[in-house]
C-alpha cells in the first residue's frame, strides 16, 4: 500500500484513540470508521502485500465496535427502565 494510505490510517487511529479518551461515543464511531477504511483498502488492494491482514483487521475492529455499541445501548436502556420503575414506585 502506498504511504498516503498508511499515514491516513495511522492518523485515523490516533484520532480514534484521542476521541475515545475525550468522548467514548465519538471514539467508537472513529474506530468504526477506521475499520471501514481498513476493509475498503484491503479489498481495493487485494493480492498485494498486507492487504488480507488489513481486510481482516478492519472486519475485527468493525465487529468489536458494533457489538460493543449494541451491548452498551442495551445496558443503558435497561438501566433507564429500572430507574423509571423505581421513580414510579415512590
pLDDT tens across 37-62, in order? 999 999 998 888 888 999 999 999 99
For residue 55, tell me if it sits in a domain.
yes
Q: In angstroms, what CA-CA distances link 12 with 41, 47, 71, 77, 81?
A: 14, 24, 24, 30, 36
Task: Tell me the residue range of the domain where 60 lies.
Answer: 3-65
For residue 71, tell me if it sits in a domain.
no
The total of structural domains in the chain comes to 1
For the whole model, what pTM was predicted?
0.78
For residue 44, tell me if it sits in a domain.
yes
For residue 40, tell me if it sits in a domain.
yes
Amino acid at each position: 500500500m502506498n504511504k498516503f494510505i498508511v499515514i491516513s490510517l495511522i492518523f485515523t487511529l490516533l484520532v480514534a484513540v484521542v476521541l475515545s479518551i475525550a468522548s467514548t461515543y465519538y471514539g467508537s464511531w472513529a474506530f468504526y470508521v477506521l475499520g471501514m477504511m481498513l476493509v475498503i483498502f484491503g479489498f481495493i488492494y487485494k493480492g498485494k502485500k498486507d492487504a488480507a491482514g488489513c481486510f481482516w483487521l478492519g472486519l475485527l475492529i468493525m465487529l468489536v465496535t458494533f457489538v460493543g455499541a449494541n451491548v452498551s445501548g442495551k445496558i443503558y436502556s435497561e438501566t433507564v427502565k429500572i430507574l423509571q420503575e423505581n421513580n414510579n414506585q415512590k
